[in-house]
Amino acid sequence: MPTSLSKIIEGESRMEVIWSHAMSLISETAVRLDDTPPEPGQAAIWKAKDSDYSVTIVGDLGMGMDGRRYVSVESTNAGIPLDELELCIDMTF
């Protein structure tokens, strides 16, 4: 029984169908990752208006009235918009 990936849609090659499906999955995953708050203890760079600051995330404060997700960090009592943070990813295994 053929799967949706192995079907050839009229006017499209098999590779185009596979590529389209793969890009759709990547897009859906990216949206879900954006909705997921970072873990407490996660290191990040806060790209503030005046400078960049190294911070450690303490917790998720949820969505603000402006539709942005906010987190608390160790260095300030103010909530920081998640979209102003660049998460530091540990690439050691």
Q: What HEC string does 8-40 produce?
A: CCCCCCHHHHHHHHHHHHHHHHHHHHHHCCCCC
More confident: 10 or 92: 92
Say if residue 26's pLDDT is above 50. yes
Q: What is the pTM of this model?
A: 0.58
In the chain, domain spans: 1-36, 43-87
Q: Quick one: pLDDT band at residue 12, thresholds 50, 70, 90?
A: low
Quote the CA–CA distance of 14 and 49 in Å, as a whole number: 48
**Per-residue model confidence as pLDDT tens digits over 31-45:** 444 556 788 998 989
